[in-house]
A = this chain, B = another copy of it.
Amino acid sequence: MTKQTLALALLLASTLHAQQPKPLTSYIDPYIGVDWGGNTFIGSAIPFGMVKLGPDMETFDHRPSGFGYSSTGSILGFSHTHLSGAQGKYGNILVMPTTGDVTPLAIASPREKETAQPGYYAATLTRYNIRAELSSTRRTGIHRYTFPASQNAHLTLDLEHCLSRGNSQGWEDQHFVGGEVHVTNLHEITGIGRYSGGWNRGGEYRVYFVLQTDAPVTTARTWTGNGSNPWKDSIPDTSTIRITNDHNATVNAETPIGAILDFKTSAQQQVHVRVGISFVSIDQARNNLREEMPTYDLDAARRNVVAQWQKQLDTIHLSGATEKQRRMIYTAIYHTMMMPVDRTGENPLWQSTEPYYDDYYAVWDTFRSSAPFLTLVAPDRERDLVRSLLNIYQHDGYMPDARSGNVTGRTQGGSNTDVMVADAYVKHLPGIDWNTALQAMIKNAEVTPADLQKEGRGGIDDYNKLGYVTNRDERSGSRTVEYSNDDYSIAEVACGLGKDDIAKKYLARSHNFENLWDKNLEEGADVNPRAKRSVPGFKGFTRPKNPDGTWAAPNKDVRGSWWSFFYEGDEWTYSLYAPHDMRRIVELSGGPEEFARRLDYTFTHGHYDVSNEPGFLLPMLYAWSSHPDHTADVLRLTLEKWFSDTRSGIPGNDDSGAMSSWLIFNTLGFYPVAGQGIYILGTPAIPESTIAVGNGKTLHIVAKNAGEDGLNRYIQSATLNGKPLNNTWFRHADIANGGELILTMGSSPSATWGKATPPPSMSDPGFKLCN
């Protein structure tokens, strides 16, 4: 072979190689959404994995959490627990390799040559010229550090470190409250860290660890400081740190504590660290290490993580999708499956053989799209998530809306678990004790919680007596309309279980959203003082009521304030919130044409906020209007503006994958009405998708003429399982055992398609529960 021919052949070979299908995990880009508050996790974790080992960074204002990932220059170290699509908790057991003299709390290093992939993170710590690599299993982390030649090499452990300290003036701060460190031998450190607070204002949680290393350690030291929180101000106070040769250290306050292992390295010497984590005991941490990380094999761990993600991604296959769309969809699956966290066997509070999950953040965020998504592609997982909620109910008294660090709270809305349970119920998820589930739902609906930010339904006394939460309680508007939907969920399950009296009672209550509807309240009229007034406003909005039944001032609170009438949404969003009775909302709004005008106004006047969940269903509401085609317009523009395959590619906090799951559904072209077993068609952006719906069955979606550019975004005609589908919606039962949805897309709205029968509503003539 001549040299030239060889070059040609190599070129050909590389081209052919490039044409082979890439593994789906190669489409995962963990960086999507790390910035601008997407808060997605960077590091190694298996699906729903307890250990999330990744770097903690210095931020913009030199704190260990905050203004977005890429705003930071320096790595503080690598800790073993993190949230994803959330912030304000964890960051426990921080390990950092260094060279030279060590000043605890002042060892951060800039990084370069960084890479983040499923099951793998690597960066070079330029201050020390150390290459750091990370991987993990469910409950352990593995570190590989490649050192330069050094007479003065170290591994450091910072137990006091945790995220979200001093950021919120005491309100949602996390605190280190004490702990102990034991150098059991020159290759092992064990200990306990105790932490409290964080986003859910939780009580103390304990993290037990066993850290082992194959480094040639010659001496070990520990260190403590005084009782102040060094992160109150931007620059950590290292003046009180004392390093000693003691092999044991204990503190009982928010004071620095840690350990240093000293050794020498030759150039390119690799040092491994493996860390077993447990929420139960040091023994169990050691056990986890023995079971899951018997050797220091980072590469094997990484292969295992990738294999587990591959299995999850394998549920969705795309044809005709662009590379960008694939990156977005597969990364969205990855992000949706980061939390809640499988802590089965790691519950320090009670013994049970039931699944135990932590880090529900929060069901209020995830019940709308994440839960229906898991029900569709990972029904066993969703079953376990529901069973875990019921198990917590049985031991703690309530299903949690939110839970983190083994502590329930803070409730965002009320008992939105009711909808999550009903969604599983109407979709016939097997393996759940529905009678217990109904009990738990009724507890939500009837028993006033001691702390309305912790569990249950706040303001339930007024709601059950008067039919609405009064404005003496926070979030009384969003709570009232959500409780109505929750009550509908209870009615559904009760009806299915043959408990007609219960069903009847809660069905009656599910009308309650109407009790705060002020039909005379008008907004949206032209208020330009110099223009001729020619555009009328919209009449009828949800409005606060006083305990005596009189109207209070209309809501003008800042959107999203904790103490406002509505939570994370405004009157335009919440006034239309009754997913179980949109027919009635349309009537109240003046009929389908006026309702379409109102939705148009909402979207074109800045009242639609896809970065918070209350608006998730809003684009689909056109299905009840005279313009179902506007759903396609709104979805296309929303996806185009707020989602991308970049670091700022998630519109707001991913909320444990809520945003990501919204993206998946709306790219594939349909979206669930949570709790009701209904999907509404949107506008598929991918010509062909195949979704594994369990038991080897698949839902096959063909969208003829569809594409990323969105030009052909209007459905012209549809068939479902071979029969014409003239409505914008279908039932879960139609696809539960697989199915085929064939859509013909076009570049202008169809005059007729989708206008036959709107999706079901409680006010429909002839409506019956258990339909």
Residues of B within 8 A of A297 (CB): none
Smallest Cβ-Cβ distance to A114: which chain B residue: B711
- A600 is an interface residue with CB less than 8 A from chain B: yes
Q: C-beta contact mask, A52-75 vs B, less than 8 Å → 1, else 0?
A: 000000001100001110110110
Q: By the criterion CB–CB under 8 Å, are B529 and A747 in contact?
A: no
Residues of B within 8 A of A532 (CB): 169-171
Partner of A535, one of B5, B9, B36, B169: B169
Q: By the criterion CB–CB under 8 Å, are A600 and B112 in contact?
A: no
Stretch from A384-392, A639-647, A658-666 that touches the partner? A639-647
Q: By the criterion CB–CB under 8 Å, are B637 and A71 in contact?
A: yes
Q: By the criterion CB–CB under 8 Å, are B70 and A637 in contact?
A: yes
Q: By the criterion CB–CB under 8 Å, are B110 and A68 in contact?
A: no
A319 to chain B, nearest CB (A): 21
Residues of B within 8 A of A326 (CB): none
- A710 is an interface residue with CB less than 8 A from chain B: yes
Q: By the criterion CB–CB under 8 Å, are B637 and A35 in contact?
A: yes
- A345 is an interface residue with CB less than 8 A from chain B: no
Contacting residues of chain A (9-49) with chain B, CB-CB under 8 angstroms: 9, 11-12, 15, 35-36
Q: By the criterion CB–CB under 8 Å, are B36 and A641 in contact?
A: yes
- A496 is an interface residue with CB less than 8 A from chain B: no
Q: By the criterion CB–CB under 8 Å, are A641 and B169 in contact?
A: no
Partner of A61, one of B7, B9, B600: B600
- A746 is an interface residue with CB less than 8 A from chain B: yes
Contacting residues of chain A (169-204) with chain B, CB-CB under 8 angstroms: 169-171
Residues of B within 8 A of A604 (CB): 60-61, 66-67
Count of chain A residues with a beta carbon within 8 Å of a chain B beta carbon: 57
- Count copies of this chain in the complex: 2
- A526 is an interface residue with CB less than 8 A from chain B: yes
Residues of B within 8 A of A535 (CB): 169
Contacting residues of chain A (735-771) with chain B, CB-CB under 8 angstroms: 746-749
Known contacts A170-B534, A604-B60: A74-B748 contact under CB 8 Å? yes
- A447 is an interface residue with CB less than 8 A from chain B: no
- A630 is an interface residue with CB less than 8 A from chain B: yes
- A168 is an interface residue with CB less than 8 A from chain B: yes
Partner of A60, one of B71, B633, B710: B633
A8-B10 Cα distance, complex, nearest whole Å: 10
A526-B711 Cα distance, complex, nearest whole Å: 47
Known contacts A169-B531, A648-B641: A714-B73 contact under CB 8 Å? yes
- A465 is an interface residue with CB less than 8 A from chain B: no
A358-B533 Cα distance, complex, nearest whole Å: 31
A486-B223 Cα distance, complex, nearest whole Å: 60
Partner of A646, one of B36, B70, B640: B640
With contacts A60-B604, A112-B712 known, what are 7 further pairs, Cβ within 8 A? A7-B12, A8-B11, A11-B15, A126-B747, A169-B532, A170-B532, A171-B530
